[in-house]
Amino acid sequence: MQNLKDWKNPIILLFSIGMSSVGDFIYLVAVNIIVYQLTGSAVAVAGLWIVSPLTNIVTKFWTGSFIDYRSKRKVMITTYIIRALFICLIPLAPNMIVIYGILVVLSIAKAFFNPSSMTYATMLVLKEKRKRFNSLRSFASSGAFIIGPSIGGSLILLTSVQMTLLINALFFLVSAILLTLLPEKEQIDKESIPPLTISQVVRDFTVVQKFMMNNKYVSFIYLGFIIVMIFSFAMDAQEVVFTQQVIGLSEMEYSLLISITGIGSVMGAILLSLFSNYFSLRYMIIIGIMMAATGYVIYAFSWSFASIVVGFIILGFFLVFLNAGMTTFYQNNVPVDVMGRVTSIYQLIQSAVQVVFILVIGFIADFISLRITIVTLAIVMLGSAFIFSFSVLKFDRKLYYEEDRSNHNALSGKTY
């Protein structure tokens, strides 16, 4: 009975995040269509994928400074409401300039949401339950990946793009309402909140720098994870061109491929949710990153629909292990009082590298074969994953992966 009581609030949080994840995919389908209808330009649609990383680069400098001194729960609720309101405004936008302006606001809201949700989940979920919670969260995200576009497509067919966006806003409002049912986990003294100034942001950068210097191994592992996954992001950016022009898949086969990948993710998430207690954190991460990299190698060398399906099923299945494992590792080793700032800086680094990497790979692909580009990226990713796994397996670092350890202070003293 106590176990069920401990899971009540985490389940509500999962439903809230799950609803918003479905809303994200409905929005993605609808906004792609509405932009294409307005412009008829593939370039304008492609620009949608650049808005979020570019916005992150601008906002992540100061989002952590804002988040760490305020209620994470209230920040999450506010971002949900902002997203609902601005999604409702998209059908009223008279031109692309206004639409891109709305998309920037939505990206900023999401930039606040991600570090806040990471920190709030860490405070809400007991340490010994985090691994299973993150497995269930992966299941919710994978499920949203499958049903979100389907719901979006069905709503557009049954109603219209404009009505779909209005219905889409309800998903975020429901997510906000669910969060109001959860407890406030912080005692915020409003008088002690420092003003958001340039000098305060600089001081907070110093705090993050001290944390990274005093926790070199945690920083190395998480930044290593980001770097390895940058290769996957670069390959994903060329996915449509590679599968259709190099391998020769039809649009129908490509759509089926994405659905099969989603099913692989759901199956991996179900398995992990049921048996997460039987997997050590280290082996979740190692198996996840090595098998995901193997999936990309199979994808890079694929010559037919059948061979690429094998790679994508492996990829979808084991990315769940990797993401759940790394999230749990991160929550167990970063103190909640600096987590917002640390997360924002890591995401800033990730976004900056993503933008540069995509531009460089796109430039290289124009001069040499796209097949060679993708194969090279996949092989380098596999080699990087191998080196990363050795770092995770170091015997003298096993304490970082123990789930019954009270906090990182026990190992390294003061963390920042």
> Per residue in 55-98, pLDDT tens?
878 888 888 888 988 899 999 999 999 999 999 999 888 888 89
For residue 333, what pLDDT is reported? 94
Neighbours of 302 (CB within 10 A): 22
**Average pLDDT estimate for 388-408:** 79
Average the pLDDT over each of 199-203, 330-334, 373-377, 379-383 and give the range with the smallest value.
199-203
For residue 388, what pLDDT is reported? 95
Give yes or no for residue 318 having a pLDDT over 50: yes
For residue 128, what pLDDT is reported? 86
b/e sequence 371-396, b meaning 16+ C-beta within 10 Å: bebbbebbbebbebbeebbeebeeee
Average the pLDDT over each of 239-243, 285-289, 297-301, 389-393 and give the range with the smallest value.
239-243
CB 222 within 8 A of CB 346: yes
The string of DSSP codes covering 65-76 is HHHTTS-HHHHH
For residue 25, what pLDDT is reported? 86
Confidence of residue 192 (pLDDT cuts 50, 70, 90): confident
For residue 407, what pLDDT is reported? 45
Q: What percent of the chain has pLDDT over 90?
A: 39
What sign for the dihedral angle of Cα 125, 128, 134, 136?
negative
pLDDT 10s digits, 249-275:
887 888 788 778 888 888 888 898 888
Give yes or no for residue 410 having a pLDDT over 60: no
